Amino acid sequence: TSSSTTTTSSTTTTSTTLPPAFDAVDVSFSFTVIIGEDSVGVFTATGTATDDGVMCSSGTSFETGFVDLNGGHEQWVTQMRCDDDTGRFKLECDSRGTYEDTVWITNDTCTVVGRTNAYVGISGDLSGTTTCPPGPNCFVEYTGTVERTE
């Protein structure tokens, strides 16, 4: 016994329209990260970028990559998911830190990379500090700019 199936297909073309380009605007991020297996945190953003509606003002952060390069030099990637469902972006960071008494303090430089939805095509540069006192939380403060070019 044999059977045959004939499938007729049609071609569907989907086009994606990116949100409009914008010049570099200021943004500041503050977030608290709970250090552990997932290093999950919450963030808030302020500045011209949020005032103009090109960046969300709050969300959740998830550390998705970390490399200890020794001597206080670290590299890490954090995914940022916006509470308002406008999309995701990530921070790719390079950190150099030292202990001051029992507090770990790093000076960080980060690149902002757009990921999904409203953040596709967004890029930027941030710098700031991460402060990790004894306990499970680290506190992050970054400032910089983001932009979208065509």
pLDDT in tens, 63-119: 887 788 888 888 888 899 999 999 999 999 999 999 999 999 999 999 999 888 989
User: pTM for the full model?
Assistant: 0.78
pLDDT, tens digit (0-9, with 9 covering 90-100), for 91-102: 999 999 999 999
CA separation for the pair 131, 141 (Å, rounded):
9
Residue 27 neighbours by CB distance under 10 Å: 23
pLDDT of residue 22: 84
pLDDT of residue 13: 42
Mean pLDDT, all residues of the chain: 83
If residue 108 lies in a helix (H) or strand (E), which one and from where to where? strand 103-114
pLDDT of residue 75: 87
Which has more confidence, 2 or 148?
148
CA separation for the pair 9, 126 (Å, rounded):
48
pLDDT band for position 127 (cuts 50, 70, 90): very high
CA separation for the pair 107, 46 (Å, rounded):
20
Which residues fall within 8 angstroms of residue 121, CB to CB, at 6 or more apart?
Answer: 18, 19, 21, 114, 148, 149
Which has more confidence, 19 or 24?
24
How many percent of the chain have pLDDT more than 90? 47
CA separation for the pair 127, 144 (Å, rounded):
6
CA separation for the pair 48, 34 (Å, rounded):
28
Residue 59 neighbours by CB distance under 10 Å: 24
The answer to whether residue 46 scores a pLDDT higher than 60 is yes
Which has more confidence, 67 or 144?
144
